[in-house]
Structure 1
Amino acid sequence: MDAAERSSLVVKLRKFVEWVGDGRTLTGTGTLKLADARELVALLDTGDELERDLGGEVQRVRSSADLPNLAILFELAKRARIVRVVKGKLVRVAKATRLVEDALALWAAAFDALPERGLLVKDTGWGLGYALLLDDCLDFVLPDVLNTVYGMPEPVPVVRLAETAWLACVESAYVDLDPSIEPVWRDGFVGEFRRLLARLAEFGAAELTTGPADPMYTMDLVPENPELPSEVQGRLRDALEASSLDRVALTPLATWAVRERLVREGRFAPVVGELAAAAPAAMLGVVAEHFTEDAAAVEIGGWLAVHGGRDAGLPLLLDAVRRCPFRTRASVMLQILVDSLPDGDSVLDGLRADPGLGPIATQLLVERGNLALEELEPRESLLCMAEQFLVLLETAGLEATASTLSEIPDGERAPLAEAIPASGHPDRVGLDELAEVFEQVRPARNAHPLGGVTRSRISKGKSKKRRH
């Protein structure tokens, strides 16, 4: 991949390996000799300062460990196993020759080594408390951050990631801070977190931008969310109101590397375009379960292009939804399909009269606010009511459905018990089950409402809340 060849991380690691040559003697503590470090700062253009002006007094660096950028490259080279220490000497790993020549493999090896502890705070073991805290949690915080950004269709506000990383580290390390000092630690931690993201950007793994936060990043800031304390939600709401925020997204290189890691871990990580040859039902099912809205639109558009374009491919996808035996899953599949089309609402409206998809299409139009209940014809209204009861039976089960029906006054329930089974809804199996439930909640009040009911279908589908 060209991006890997151009990566400053790959360029510097290759130069470092070449500089090691036949071997370089290290200090007694296993660090680079200061003279070698000075040479490498210039050779690799690390940006480290060899001299610092402290209040008019020039202080020279006395150890390579005090050159943080060089120290990290040195550490990454060892972790990527392209160099190693043998009897106090730094040498090249002979078996890593092919790895060094393969830019993509070399970049990935270094990227995979980033989450290990000790990357931010070096061997001295000294540092500010909040820096040590982040470094000690790096092995699980950084993968979680990368996975989160990987799964988002829009750049993620840094403040959201920093807050959740702070909470995770404090909980993991059992840190109990005095209320007066906690804001200082938290602010310092956020600064170190931003420095980590800047390091990822330098290595070609992250793209840092500024701009407003997408509304999706405030949707869960509600009192009902138990995962974020109220004071955290308040801080986030205030921060996310800004018109310009620091945001982060993954580069194509990092997106590829994160997916490769997820696959190695046995986790599903779809890539847009890989479902082009899949069967209609399989493609819609995977997209509905695992793709973001934007990625779903691209995937479905690509699938249609491969299968003869919209005119030939769309009927195949609609047939797949018709054949789905589960109401909730069929609804999700149809919803994500029409959301991928520029005229999706018109497609839904055209499906109102469809014998198989009419009830779902009409229900979706009502939920979207594109169709008012009073606009429905009596037959459509009855079909929508049948759809709602079938979804209840499928998702909540027999007991909850029977309980709901038993709360309807007898004078209203009896007509429903006759009308819904005769509504013409395409799910005949579901209507038969509903008829049995209606029968069991008839006025024989001493009878158990579920007596004689033996069958129900529970959806294997997964409902989603979507943004419109």
Structure 2
Amino acid sequence: MANSGNGGVFDLGELHNLIDELGSVSGEEREALLAAMAGENEECDCGECESEVLSFPPVELAPTAELAEAVLSVPLVRDARRLAEWTGIRRVTPEGFLWPADAHEAAALLGVDDERLRLVWIVAVNTGLLRITQTGAAPGPALPGDLMEFWDGVVMDVLDRTDEGLTGSAVTDEHLTEMLATIYATSDGITYTALIEGMLQAHEIGCEARAHEMRRLREALPAELDAALDLLAYCGLFERTADGVRLTPLGVWAVRQDLLREGHDAPLLSEVASYAELSAAELVEAMLSGEAPSSAPTLWVERRLAEDAARELIKVASSGTPGQRGVIGTVLEEMGPEAEPAVREALAEPAMWRHAAVWLGVRELPAPALTEEDGTWLAVDTLATLLHIPDAREAMGEFEALEAGEELLRLVEDISRSTHPDAIAVLELLGAHHPEAAVAKAARKAAMKARSR
């Protein structure tokens, strides 16, 4: 499914299935169809598509001076500095590491085992605290003036070790990135139980682990994870709470840097706070223009009663454009049953009642049944978001469901009979911009039929 930058859009292939099936199914099948319509699709795993851009809640970082001072107190950083001072000028192996006798002495000095000593050595070398030359190891320059840049390098060195076995737990190393992102999104941290269950689920689904492997992991993971968390606390990323763990202030800063490097939306609270004060119409306009980050609606909703927030959004959507409804639908999709009274009121709105029925149905709340014509109307409303995108041809290319085929040709014919006010405009758009000649011709022909009616 494509995201045009103008809010969530529905998968048109699933919408087409909806046209055929929604009126005749119920229960789990109905929920699955409605969920697919709402955009809850599995991420492509072909390896050729770009990674999905994720949106994280805004965070408030500790003052830079406070963070910089904390860097020097991180056990890993402290040991890397001590190791560099102890090493002085010393011969190293061809691989650039200490000879066994020296490594044993260094480990005893620092009070670490061999694996942790190797991590300390790598950090000391990669951050420039130690320099490896043809004659051996020698002290590098003093700490850089920008301690946060130095800290960023330390964390990158740590995370780069997961491929070679950072924590001693293969499962933890495999899912460490997801674990960090998950805890980043929960400002109060996460319990051990939730963390273990989340990692087991991620491993079972992501790695297609079999039942016997999952039984073994369920027994072994708690102890493995406990040791892994000790190491990550040593690295300055985690701190333990009464019943779980949370990121340290330095951990929050470092994970955010990594998320930003990966292209994810990880704003500061100060960057999105102003959006929480906008009216619903102003917020939607800021989202449509691309000015507001995708995390802004979450904060906007949090500052209001859910029912009131939903009611404000629905008022805009009811008299707005399909583009506005697409954006608002994305925000409403994140809201729970507490918004039901406002959504149920939207059943009386001509432009919103079908969307409201979908919202209610996904949550297994009483909702009107949708006919084939209603499904086509929703398909048109979804495609009409393209009318509000500057480069419709490029945006159209992002919709895999708009690839030429019998289903799309049949949908084009159904659109020509739709009562949606933008039906002809959508057909003209497909006729003018769809890259497949057969589809474009069918759309132009269907537009002529619609106009004649």
Q: TM-score under structure 2 normalisation?
A: 0.52
2:88 corresponds to 1:24? yes
Q: Deviations over 1:18-73 (max 9, x none)?
A: 6745961335434278689657756x5x4x4xxxxxxxxxxxxxxxxx54434432
Answer yes or no: is the 8 Å Cα contact 2:90–2:137 preserved in 1. Answer: yes
Q: Give 3-state SS (helix, strand or coil) of 2:199's partner.
A: helix
2:11 corresponds to 1:10? no
Answer yes or no: is the 8 Å Cα contact 1:296–1:336 preserved in 2. Answer: no
Kindly tell me: are residues 313 and 113 of structure 1, through their superposed partners in 2, closer, same or farther at Cα, counting changes over 3 Å?
same
2:120 corresponds to 1:73? yes
Answer yes or no: is the 8 Å Cα contact 2:284–2:328 preserved in 1. Answer: no
Match of 2:301 in 1: 300
Answer yes or no: is the 8 Å Cα contact 1:281–1:320 preserved in 2. Answer: no
Q: Which stretch shifts more, 159-168 or 74-83?
A: 159-168
Match of 1:329 among 320, 326, 329: 326
Kindly tell me: are residues 117 and 359 of structure 1, through their superposed partners in 2, closer, same or farther at Cα, counting changes over 3 Å?
closer
Match of 2:160 in 1: 116
Kindly tell me: are residues 78 and 188 of structure 1, through their superposed partners in 2, closer, same or farther at Cα, counting changes over 3 Å?
farther
Match of 1:225 in 2: none
Q: Which AA in structure 1 matches 2:375?
A: Q
Kindly tell me: are residues 207 and 314 of structure 1, through their superposed partners in 2, closer, same or farther at Cα, counting changes over 3 Å?
farther
Match of 1:346 in 2: 341
Kindly tell me: are residues 200 and 347 of structure 1, through their superposed partners in 2, closer, same or farther at Cα, counting changes over 3 Å?
same
Gaps of 5+ in 2: 1-61, 276-281, 384-400, 428-440, 449-453
Match of 1:430 among 423, 433, 436: 423
Query: Aligned pair count?
Result: 336
2:231 corresponds to 1:199? yes
For residue 182 of structure 1, report the CA deviation from its aligned partner: 12
Q: Give 3-state SS (helix, strand or coil) of 2:322's partner.
A: coil
Match of 1:281 in 2: 284
CA distance in 1, matches of 2:329, 2:356: 11
Between the two structures, name the one with larger relative contact order (CA 8 Å, sep ≥ 6).
2
Match of 1:453 in 2: 446
Answer yes or no: is the 8 Å Cα contact 2:75–2:234 preserved in 1. Answer: no
Q: Which protein is bigger by CA-based radius of gyration?
A: 1
Q: Which AA in structure 1 matches 2:316?
A: D
2:107 corresponds to 1:107? no
Match of 2:30 in 1: none
CA distance in 2, matches of 1:312, 1:145: 31
Q: Give 3-state SS (helix, strand or coil) of 2:344's partner.
A: helix
Q: Which AA in structure 2 matches 1:280?
A: L
Match of 2:48 in 1: none
CA distance in 1, matches of 2:270, 2:311: 17
For residue 355 of structure 1, report the CA deviation from its aligned partner: 5.3
Alignment of 1:349-428 (within 5 A): 349-354=344-349, 356-373=351-368, 387-393=374-380, 394=382, 400=407, 403=410, 421=419, 427-428=420-421
CA distance in 2, matches of 1:134, 1:37: 26
Kindly tell me: are residues 21 and 390 of structure 1, through their superposed partners in 2, closer, same or farther at Cα, counting changes over 3 Å?
same
Answer yes or no: is the 8 Å Cα contact 2:89–2:136 preserved in 1. Answer: yes
For residue 429 of structure 1, report the CA deviation from its aligned partner: 1.0
Return the structure number with greater helix share.
Answer: 2
Match of 1:261 in 2: 258
CA distance in 2, matches of 1:367, 1:185: 34
For residue 93 of structure 1, report the CA deviation from its aligned partner: 2.3
Q: Deviations over 1:304-352 (max 9, x none)?
A: 79xxxx9899747852675342597256235147x27x95222223434
CA distance in 2, matches of 1:369, 1:313: 18
Kindly tell me: are residues 250 and 84 of structure 1, through their superposed partners in 2, closer, same or farther at Cα, counting changes over 3 Å?
same
Q: Give 3-state SS (helix, strand or coil) of 2:116's partner.
A: helix
Kindly tell me: are residues 119 and 68 of structure 1, through their superposed partners in 2, closer, same or farther at Cα, counting changes over 3 Å?
farther
Match of 1:157 in 2: 195
For residue 166 of structure 1, report the CA deviation from its aligned partner: 9.3
For residue 428 of structure 1, report the CA deviation from its aligned partner: 1.2
Alignment of 1:111-150 (within 5 A): 111-117=155-161, 134=170, 142-143=176-177, 146-147=180-181, 150=184
For residue 111 of structure 1, report the CA deviation from its aligned partner: 0.9
Match of 2:129 in 1: 82
For residue 92 of structure 1, report the CA deviation from its aligned partner: 2.8
CA distance in 2, matches of 1:369, 1:312: 21
Q: Deviations over 1:375-419 (max 9, x none)?
A: xxxxxx8xx875432223446669647758999xxxxxxxx96xx
CA distance in 2, matches of 1:3, 1:356: 51
Kindly tell me: are residues 80 and 324 of structure 1, through their superposed partners in 2, closer, same or farther at Cα, counting changes over 3 Å?
farther
Q: Which AA in structure 1 matches 2:355?
A: I
For residue 453 of structure 1, report the CA deviation from its aligned partner: 1.5
Answer yes or no: is the 8 Å Cα contact 1:351–1:361 preserved in 2. Answer: yes
Q: Give 3-state SS (helix, strand or coil) of 1:85's partner.
A: strand
Q: Give 3-state SS (helix, strand or coil) of 1:114's partner.
A: helix
Q: Give 3-state SS (helix, strand or coil) of 2:160's partner.
A: coil
Match of 2:140 in 1: 92
CA distance in 1, matches of 2:342, 2:176: 43
For residue 78 of structure 1, report the CA deviation from its aligned partner: 1.8
Q: Which AA in structure 2 matches 1:114?
A: V
CA distance in 2, matches of 1:18, 1:277: 45
Kindly tell me: are residues 368 and 36 of structure 1, through their superposed partners in 2, closer, same or farther at Cα, counting changes over 3 Å?
closer
Q: TM-score under structure 1 normalisation?
A: 0.51
Q: Give 3-state SS (helix, strand or coil) of 2:446's partner.
A: coil
For residue 114 of structure 1, report the CA deviation from its aligned partner: 0.8
Q: Deviations over 1:354-376 (max 9, x none)?
A: 454444335433543444438xx
